[in-house]
Amino acid sequence: MKQVHFRKSVMILKTILLVLILSFTFPFYEGETTSALESLSFVHHQGEQPKPPLHSTDQMQPPAKVDYHNLDAGPSTHAPVQVIPLPSEEPDSNPSPSPSSDRNDAAIPGTSPNEETSIPGTDSQPASDPALNPEVNDETGEEIQANAGVLLQTLLDQSYRHEGEKVAYLTFDDGPTSSLTDQVLDILKEENIKASFFFIGSNAERHPELVKRVYEEGHGAGNHTYSHVFKEIYASPECFVDELLQSERVLQSILGEDKTFRLVRFPGGSFGKELEPFRQAVNDAGFGYIDWNSLNGDAESVKAKSPKKLLARLKETVTGQSGLVVLMHDAPGKESTVAALPEMISFLREQGYRFELLPGSR
Q: What amino acid positions are annotated as catalytic residues? A: 173, 329
Residue 216 neighbours by CB distance under 10 Å: 9
Query: Coil, helix or strand for 324?
Result: strand
Give residues with Cβ within 8 angstroms of 313, minimum separation 6.
Answer: 51, 295, 296, 297, 300, 305
The span from the CA of 254 to the CA of 212, in Å, is: 7
Q: What are the distances in angstroms from CA 124 to CA 118, 136, 144, 266?
A: 5, 21, 17, 26
The span from the CA of 335 to the CA of 304, in Å, is: 9
> Phi and psi at residue 295, in whole multiples of 5°?
-160, 165
For helices 307-318 and 335-350, the axis angle rounded to 10 degrees is 40
- Whether the bond between 176 and the residue before it is cis, its omega within 30 degrees of 0, is yes
The span from the CA of 214 to the CA of 186, in Å, is: 10
Q: Cβ(211)–Cβ(239) under 8 Å? A: no
Helix (H) or strand (E) holding 195: none
Strands of the chain (E only): list them. Answer: 167-175, 196-199, 220-223, 263-264, 288-289, 294-295, 323-329, 354-355
